[in-house]
Structure 1
Amino acid sequence: MDLNATQAAIRAGYSEKTAGQQGFELLKKPEIEAALAEAQAERSKRTQIDADWVLMRLASEATADLADIIDENGSIRPITEWPIIWRQGLVAGIDVQEDLVEGVKTGETVKLKLSDRIRRIELIGKHVNVQAFRDQVHNTGAVTLNVTQEDAEL
């Protein structure tokens, strides 16, 4: 499952010209929605990745301590000594420049580019619905009740 409605419509035999619209329309059908939900639930079970896993991972990444990859001299530890959370995506890039004097290495400069932790915090905020990143929250205080004819007759 590629989660692409247009490609699914093409595979189902719709023309490429109309596949985008057909895919959009097919996604509205209750039986299609149910089949997708079931397939996604099976995939989550199979991969053992669900909303809890994502939230726990984001929290671990957002709170990882930079001191875990720095030694007592202020140098960056070898990657093999880093906690796994740092090795799995918190560092977006490493640039190592050797300092040479007459062709002999006298030292090196290591620069780390850290991935965007603020983005992780935003994702956590959206997941737990704290409304921390909305520009404006509008609350009218209005309450809507749906009353059927049958209810009204009671």
Structure 2
Amino acid sequence: MAGLNDKQKRFVAEYLIDLNATQAAIRAGYSEKTARQQASDLLSKPNIQAAISKAMESRSKRTEVNGDRILLELARIGLSDVTKVAQIVRRKDVTSLSLTPTSEWDDDTRAAVSEISETVNESGQRTIKVKHHPKLPALAMLVRHLGLDKPELNYDDAIERMADDPDPERIDRGEDPTDG
């Protein structure tokens, strides 16, 4: 972090904790009264931006966490299949639930499960609960990241309509080209 004074270096380190610039400024020793403005000023400085980027890149390499890894985890949750964990089994007139041993779970299944717990009631009956991470938020994040929530623009149709327009200059005159 060459070119930064000690307080600026501390700001960069504190900013990486929670990405809250105002709180980072306070923790770095800037006045609470002016922390918001100080944080804004600090984040606008190219040398501070470079130090933050370099520190984030270094952390990403150290932890092996990057955008691809995050997308993979979201996909594991959003596309998870509960039948890899439990199956309904029918034998004669009895229906029961059978759990797949965790040793047989693949990486995707393990990543999708958020909790496993066991309770025993007064009569000694065991209940095992397997809880998955919520699928819908993960799918929503994937949809946004992949741009699937934006309408697909079809320029070919628009160009074809304009080519067939008997009065193409009407666009130049500010008239609606869809009025025929």
Q: TM-score, normalised by structure 1?
A: 0.65
> Where does structure 2 lack aligned partners over 5 or more consecutive residues?
1-15, 90-96, 152-180
Once the two structures are superposed, residues 127-148 of structure 1 have per-residue CA deviations (whole angstroms, 9 ceiling, x without a partner) of: 112225x9xxxxxxxxxxxxxx
Q: Secondary structure at the match of 2:33?
A: coil
Of 110, 113, 120, the residue aligned with 1:90 is 113
The equivalent of 2:81 in structure 1 is 65
Give me the CA root mean square deviation.
Answer: 2.8
% identical aligned pairs: 36
Q: Secondary structure at the match of 1:55?
A: helix
The equivalent of 1:147 in structure 2 is none
Q: Shift in Å at residue 123 of structure 1? A: 0.8
Change in CA separation of 1:99 and 1:70 when aligned onto 2, cut-off 3 Å? farther
Q: Which runs of 4+ in 1 moved over 6 A?
A: none
CA contact (8 A) 1:64 1:86 kept: yes
Q: Secondary structure at the match of 2:126?
A: strand
The equivalent of 1:25 in structure 2 is 41
Q: Tell me, in whole angstroms, the C-alpha distance in 2 between the residues paired with 1:91 and 1:14.
A: 39
Once the two structures are superposed, residues 94-119 of structure 1 have per-residue CA deviations (whole angstroms, 9 ceiling, x without a partner) of: 4635472xxxx3x4343444321010
Structure 2 residue 178 is matched with structure 1 residue 129: no
Change in CA separation of 1:12 and 1:91 when aligned onto 2, cut-off 3 Å? closer
Change in CA separation of 1:93 and 1:28 when aligned onto 2, cut-off 3 Å? farther
Q: Tell me, in whole angstroms, the C-alpha distance in 2 between the residues paired with 1:96 and 1:85.
A: 26
The one-letter code sitting in structure 1 at the alignment partner of 2:62 is R
How many residues are paired up?
A: 128
Structure 2 residue 67 is matched with structure 1 residue 51: yes
Change in CA separation of 1:84 and 1:99 when aligned onto 2, cut-off 3 Å? farther
Q: TM-score, normalised by structure 2?
A: 0.57
The equivalent of 2:132 in structure 1 is 114
The equivalent of 1:139 in structure 2 is none
CA contact (8 A) 2:76 2:109 kept: no
